[in-house]
């Protein structure tokens, strides 16, 4: 894939930002990532992070990102303010806000930092699953457009289990995923993929219900070089919930490289009606 191909990828169009002043960027939602209401939350998260990545004062690479979806993002233009709240020798703390008109629609905090070689170990192990080439791609007819931008190959807890109309005893989904068309992995694409799992309430209830992410936190456990080394290959994602109660449930996700390297984790709280 050439640099020209990357520059015209639909994900890059969706997260594109124009500097319009100190700490300020202007962007626009992209119809290719439309969700039930407004844009896919993964691209909103990726766009917020992109404001930090493009900021001339950035210090280090992303370590963590927390999104709070304060209200629905309407189709059209938005403005993002991204400002460093504090810069230390090894890390930098960010405050990020997306506005449409006079309304704040999304807030975020981010942490960037400089990584150094040190002792390393991974306690968590990826699930044992078939290779993505041994699984069939999932059909695109799932009621929202943004899924067309991903090649998803479910191992367990797939969309067929939701469409069955029968309740399922547990909430785990494991799947391979990559961008369509393929795109070299970076922090932007990885951020979006961390929110690519359908709500766990869908799987437990065996049917889609009104649901949406309220808050999402991503921890980037891989260096920029490790992320770039994945190229256009599939990532293995696995997600589950701990409890469904009082119109909210949590989700905990992990994304692995094909060779078993843990790249990122994501946790979120979702509102749902069951």
Is a pLDDT exceeding 60 seen at residue 1? no
Cis peptide before 181 (omega within 30 of 0): yes
Enumerate the H helices of the chain as residue ranges. 3-7, 10-14, 41-54, 159-163, 187-193, 200-205, 224-228
Instruction: State mean pLDDT over 93-120.
Output: 96
Does residue 38 sit within a domain? yes
Which distant-in-sequence residues (6+ apart) come within 8 Å of 44 by Cβ? 67, 69, 73, 98, 106
Looking at residue 64, its pLDDT comes to 98
Instruction: State mean pLDDT over 188-210.
Output: 96
Q: Is-contact 129 155, C-beta < 8 A? A: yes
Please tell me the number of Cα atoms within 13 Å of 86 on its side-chain side. 4
Q: CATH number of the domain at 48, please.
A: 2.40.160.210
Does residue 235 sit within a domain? yes
Looking at residue 141, its pLDDT comes to 66
Does residue 126 sit within a domain? no
The Cβ of residue 181 has, within 10 Å, a number of other Cβ atoms equal to 14
Question: Rg of the chain over CA atoms, in angstroms?
Answer: 18
Query: d(Cα 22, Cα 174) in Å, to the nearest integer?
Result: 42
Is a pLDDT exceeding 90 seen at residue 36? no
Please state the φ and ψ torsions of residue 100, each to the nearest 5 degrees: -130, 115
Q: Which residue has 């490289």 as its token pair?
A: 257
**pLDDT top residue among 141 and 60:** 60
Instruction: State mean pLDDT over 73-78.
Output: 97
What pLDDT digit, counting tens, does each position of 126-161 carry? 999 999 999 999 876 667 899 999 999 999 999 999
Burial of 259 (0-12, 13-18, 19+ CB in 10 A): exposed
Does residue 118 sit within a domain? no
The answer to whether the pTM exceeds 0.75 is yes
Query: d(Cα 1, Cα 184) in Å, to the nearest integer?
Result: 8
What pLDDT digit, counting tens, does each position of 77-89 carry? 999 999 999 999 9
Between strands 77-87 and 24-28, the pairing is antiparallel
Which distant-in-sequence residues (6+ apart) come within 8 Å of 194 by Cβ? 42, 45, 216, 218, 253, 255, 264, 266
Does residue 58 sit within a domain? yes
Please tell me the number of Cα atoms within 13 Å of 103 on its side-chain side. 9
Query: d(Cα 29, Cα 79) in Å, to the nearest integer?
Result: 11
Query: d(Cα 136, Cα 254) in Å, to the nearest integer?
Result: 22
Does residue 85 sit within a domain? yes
Give the residue numbers spanning the domain of 259: 3-113+132-272
Which distant-in-sequence residues (6+ apart) come within 8 Å of 17 by Cβ? 25, 26, 27, 47, 50, 51, 54, 80
What pLDDT digit, counting tens, does each position of 220-251 carry? 999 999 999 999 999 999 999 999 999 999 99
Does residue 9 sit within a domain? yes
Is a pLDDT exceeding 50 seen at residue 2? no
Does residue 150 sit within a domain? yes
Domain count, the chain: 1
Looking at residue 101, its pLDDT comes to 96
Q: How far apart are the first and last CA of the chain?
A: 44
Looking at residue 233, its pLDDT comes to 98
Instruction: State mean pLDDT over 163-173.
Output: 94
The Cβ of residue 54 has, within 10 Å, a number of other Cβ atoms equal to 16
Looking at residue 140, its pLDDT comes to 62
Query: d(Cα 129, Cα 88) in Å, to the nearest integer?
Result: 42
Whole-number average pLDDT of the chain:
94
Question: Which of 194, 188, 207, 181 is CA-nearest to residue 235?
Answer: 194
- SS3 assignment, position 190: helix
């Amino acid at each position: 894939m050439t640099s020209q191909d990357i520059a015209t990828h639909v994900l890059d169009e969706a997260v594109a930002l124009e500097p319009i002043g100190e700490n300020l960027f202007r962007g626009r939602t992209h119809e290719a990532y439309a969700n039930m209401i407004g844009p896919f939350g993964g691209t909103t998260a990726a766009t917020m992070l992109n404001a930090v990545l493009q900021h001339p004062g950035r210090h280090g690479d992303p370590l963590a990102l927390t999104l709070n979806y304060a209200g629905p993002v309407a189709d059209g233009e938005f403005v993002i303010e991204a400002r460093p709240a504090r810069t230390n020798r090894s890390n930098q703390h960010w405050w990020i806000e997306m506005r449409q008109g006079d309304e704040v629609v999304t807030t975020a905090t981010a942490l960037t930092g400089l990584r150094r070689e040190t002792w390393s170990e991974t306690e968590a192990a990826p699930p044992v699953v078939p290779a993505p080439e041994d699984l069939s791609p999932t059909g695109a007819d799932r009621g929202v457009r943004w899924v067309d931008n991903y090649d998803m190959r479910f191992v367990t807890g797939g969309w067929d289990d939701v469409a069955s109309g029968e309740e399922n005893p547990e909430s785990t989904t494991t799947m391979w995923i990559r961008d369509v068309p393929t795109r070299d992995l970076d922090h932007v694409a990885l951020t979006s993929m961390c929110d690519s799992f359908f709500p766990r309430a869908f799987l437990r209830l065996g049917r889609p219900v009104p649901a949406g992410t309220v808050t999402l936190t991503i921890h980037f456990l891989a260096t920029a070089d490790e992320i770039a080394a994945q190229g256009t290959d599939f990532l293995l994602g696995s997600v589950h919930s701990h409890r469904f109660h009082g119109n909210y449930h949590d989700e905990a996700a992990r994304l692995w490289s094909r060779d078993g390297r843990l790249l990122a984790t994501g946790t979120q709280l979702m509102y749902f009606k069951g």
